[in-house]
Structures are given as structure tokens and as C-alpha cells.
Amino acid sequence: MGLVVQKYGGSSVADAEGIKRVAKRIVDAKKNGHQVVVVVSAMGDTTDELIDLAEQVSPMPAGREFDMLLTAGERISMALLAMAIKNLGHEAQSFTGSQAGVITDSVHNKARIIDVTPGRIRTALDEGNIAIVAGFQGVSADSKDITTLGRGGSDTTAVALAAALDAEVCEIYTDVDGVFTADPRVVKKARKIDWISSEDMLELAASGSKVLLHRCVEYARRYNIPIHVRSSFSGLPGTWVSNENPQGDAKVEHAIISGVAHDVSEAKITVVGVPDKPGEAAAIFRAIADAEINIDMIVQNVSAASTGLTDISFTLPKTEGHKAIDALEKAKGAIGFDSLRYDDQIGKISLVGAGMKTNPGVTASFFQALSDAGVNIELISTSEIRISVVTRQDDVNEAVRAVHTAFGLDSDSDEAVVYGGTGR
Ligand code: ADP
Ligand code: ASP
Ligand code: MG
């Protein structure tokens, strides 16, 4: 029996009962002969509550202090979980990200892991302990300050530790039975997927399926770590995410469509009245990049012949909205545009599947489904295995259900179960 890394999300440890339930599961894995490393998130919506609190004291809190605050959430759950395990008669020790050797760069609020040196975790395991690690946090190699890995970052902590400790599997325990063909909170008829390729999962995660974080899937793909996403509330097998299909490609065909993802966490900025000449787009996106903001979709309108001016729209995380507007306003003189428009009432719907490469009708059917549902499209972007559109936020749920049905993804058996969480 080898080493397993198990990650429990906030909804799985939302209260004392949840922590005790999870402790039993962990002890069972240990009793089955595994060495067990557990990564735990903050209880329930603690992280959101801490963010709300910070905003009440300061509209733009300093990154360093913000990270100090947020990491407190995971500290609470790791210590409580270790106590609950000890109470069941087993040895457990909790570790902060820093103690566990999670080394990052120094970009506060969205640090990247650059190394994992889990010496203390190894020692704890060798001494017979279950090791509990606070997710979502690390320590900067340069400044030695505490950092966080971005929302949902505990998934990444788990895979990074699994890679560093050469674990046989990284189990991600959450409040649904696995990865579904759409968010079960929106589509009751969503179907559980038994296996999904890292490639398709990467696109789903990047398109907003928060059941797994994009960076975590990227990491798992690079280090070839199989992920098993499953519920901490049921004993059911979940979804395997891996580079190779465990049954061999011959037995299970690649689905044409893996699923429908949606995302309401983005906003749209339109730069109005940009002179239509070389270097303008470069100047706009240089200003955004210098502010360390990642953008998603971009569209440039045809310029009106009479004015020689054009509009450029792009989407970005809502949380970066203020920063982006500030950065563009500062560069307004140099870039030379008329005005900025900010719209945070947008939503994005994406259809993902490796089979798209070879099925030319997919795009047409996708747009038809949206049109039949009366949904207006504002932006479009595509990759080899994904089509995404931006619509009004109010239309998103309806659009997801329409597309899910149109592609024959609706399950004809039971409704998908959501065991916990608030969906926040
Ligand atoms: P945790 O607290 O365990 O990290 P998250 O809230 O981050 O849980 O992720 C689990 C949630 O992801 C589910 O409750 C579900 O609403 C949402 N979700 C979105 N897309 C999907 C999908 N395709 N399959 C399963 N869950 C999804
Ligand atoms: N607690 C953090 C968050 O809510 C990290 C995580 O749960 O993965 O984003
Ligand atoms: Mg999560």
C-alpha cells in the first residue's frame, strides 16, 4: 500500500460534525495500510467571510496582510482535523504550507508554487502520523512572507504534494460525486463522468468548472499524477482525471463533448475610441500586463471609416476590475482612447470536448441551441477543443441547460446530488 494524498474542500469540513466525519474517512484510509497526507481547506465559506471583513477595514488591502489573514482559515481547519483524528486514537500532526515546504514566488494573492520540500511531512509519516497540511498557502522563497495561491488553491497544494511525495493518487473530496457534464447546481440532469482526460479537464477548469482548479490540473498533467474527484459525503467512486485512459483508448471512446462549463466571475472592459493604427492594442495590453492582470477573451471591432476609431473589448476576473481600470486611466494619455466602459453583468458559457476537432457541426449546433433559448451572444472565442461565448449573466443558467440538452448530455437516470456547500 502506497502513499495517498487526500484533499477535503471547505464544504466537507463546514462544521464540527463535518470535521469528525472526514476524520473517520482519513482514519479508514490509514487502517487500510496507506500512508496518508491530508490537505484541508478553510471551513465552509470562511475565506469569503475573511475577504468581506478585510474589505470593511480597507477597500484595497495590502497583499501581504491579505494573505496573512486568509491563511488563518486553513490553520483553523487543519488543527481541528488533527484533534479529531487524535480523538479517534490515531496520531496526526498539522502543518502550515510553509512548514510543509510549499515554496512560492512572491506574488501575493496568486502565488505560484516553485518548489516543494516536504521533509517534515516525510518525517511525520515515517513516525506513523497522519500529516495534515493547510491548503492554499505557501511561503515566498525571496521575501519569506506568507503567500496564498489564489481562490480554490488547496487543489493545487494537494497535487503539488502528491507529486513531491510520489503519491499513487491524489483524491479530491468535495460536495458532489465527481466531475459532471455540467455544474449539478445548475443542471439537475448532469451526468457523472467516470474518466476524463487531463486535456478536457483543463479546458473545463479554465472555463469555470470550479470542481477542480485549472492550475491543479495543469500540475497533475505535467507530473502525471492521477486525480480521483469524489464526494466526502458518499462512498461512491468518483471521476478519474488522468493523461491516459486507465482502460485503454480502445475500450472507451473519447466523448465528442465532455461537458458544458459556465463562469460568472468575469467582467468586460470596453476601451472606446481607440485610434486604428499599429501599436494601440500592444499599448493597452501592456498596461494590463504590467498591472499583473490576466485577461481572457478579446474582441476588436471594425473601425468606422469616417472616424478611424475602433473599440476593443476584453474580459478579466471581476476581482481585477478596479486595478485594470486604474491602470488604463493612468495610461490614457499615452494610448489615446476616448473612454472606458465596465460591465460586470456578463457570464461565459463554454462547450468542451476533444471530439470537436473532427466534428464540424458542433459550432453550428451550439449557436443554434443558444438562439433557440433566446440568448444573445456578445463575444466568442474558440480553441481546438472549446467554444466559449459571453452573454448577459441573467441568461447563463438557461443557456447552460439548453446547450446540455441540445448535445444529448442529459442523464435519463437519477438527478445529480449536491451534498453540501452554499455554491458561493
Ligand atoms: P470544495 O469546497 O470542495 O473545493 P468547490 O465549491 O470548489 O468545492 O467545488 C465543488 C463545486 O463545483 C460543486 O458543488 C459544483 O457546484 C461545482 N461545479 C461546477 N462545475 C462542475 C462540474 N462540471 N462537475 C461537478 N461540479 C461542478
Ligand atoms: N479556502 C480557499 C478558498 O476558498 C482555498 C480553497 O478552498 O481551495 O478559495
Ligand atoms: Mg474548490
20-63 pLDDT tens trace: 999 999 999 999 999 999 999 999 999 999 999 999 999 889 99
- Rounded to the nearest whole angstrom, what is the distance from the C-alpha of residue 107 to the centroid of ligand 2? 17
Rounded Cα–Cα distance for residues 229 and 424 (Å): 19
pLDDT digit string (tens) for 365-408?
A: 999 999 999 999 999 999 999 999 999 999 999 999 999 999 99
Residue 332: predicted pLDDT: 94
Could you give the C-alpha distances from 30 to 6, 118, 130, 286, in angstroms and in order?
11, 19, 8, 51
Q: Residue 22: enclosing H or E segment and its boundaries?
A: helix 16-31
Residue 301: predicted pLDDT: 83
Strand partners, 266: 317
pLDDT at 250 over 60: no
Grid coordinates of 295: 485577461
Strand partners, 315: 268
Nearest residue (CA) to ligand 2, atom 8: 152
Which own/partner pairs from 324-333 qualify as long-range (CB within 8 Å, at least 24 positions apart)? Answer: 324/269, 324/288, 324/291, 324/293, 325/269, 326/291, 327/287, 327/288, 327/290, 327/291, 327/293, 328/269, 328/271, 328/284, 328/287, 328/288, 330/287, 331/283, 331/284, 331/287
Strand partners, 348: 263, 390
Rounded Cα–Cα distance for residues 287 and 327 (Å): 6
| Residue of 211, 229, 415 with the most ligand 1 atoms within 8 Å of its CB, for mutation | 211
Q: Position 85: which residue type?
A: I
Is the CB of 47 within 6 Å of ligand 2? yes
The overall longest dimension of the chain from CA atoms, in Å, is 79
pLDDT at 288 over 80: yes
Rounded Cα–Cα distance for residues 72 and 66 (Å): 10
Residue 342: predicted pLDDT: 98
Judged by its nearest atom, the ligand closest to the C-alpha of residue 48 is 2
pLDDT at 414 over 90: no
Residue 413: predicted pLDDT: 84
Grid coordinates of 98: 510553509
Phi-psi bin for 224: left (phi > 0), alpha (psi -120 to 50), beta?
left
Question: Between 63-87 and 46-57, two packed helices, what is the crossing angle to 10 degrees?
Answer: 150
Mean of the pLDDT values across residues 104-117? Answer: 96
Torsion angles phi and psi, residue 122, rounded to 5: -55, -45
Q: Which domains does the chain have, with CATH numbers?
A: 3-247 (3.40.1160.10)
* Better-scored residue on pLDDT, 377 or 251: 377
pLDDT digit string (tens) for 158-172?
A: 999 999 999 999 999
Q: Which residues of 89-121 are buried (b: 16+ CB within 10 A; e: fewer)?
A: ebebbbbbbbbbbbbbbbebbbbebeebebeeb
pLDDT digit string (tens) for 163-212?
A: 999 999 999 999 999 999 999 999 999 999 999 999 999 999 999 999 99
pLDDT at 252 over 80: no
pLDDT at 421 over 70: yes
Is the CB of 366 within 6 Å of ligand 1? no
- Rounded to the nearest whole angstrom, what is the distance from the C-alpha of residue 222 to the centroid of ligand 3? 20
If you average pLDDT over every residue of the chain, what do you get? 94
Helix (H/G/I), strand (E/B), else coil: 323: helix
Selection from 292, 267, 265 nearest residue 112 by Cα: 292
Grid coordinates of 219: 500540475
Is the CB of 259 within 6 Å of ligand 1? yes
pLDDT at 354 over 60: yes
Judged by its nearest atom, the ligand closest to the C-alpha of residue 134 is 2
Residue 357: predicted pLDDT: 83
Q: Position 38: which residue type?
A: V
Is the CB of residue 294 less than 8 Å from the CB of residue 363?
no
Q: What percent of the chain has pLDDT over 70?
A: 98
Residue 253: predicted pLDDT: 56
pLDDT band per the 50, 70, 90 thresholds, residue 254: low
Could you give the C-alpha distances from 160 to 163, 240, 258, in angstroms and in order?
5, 17, 26
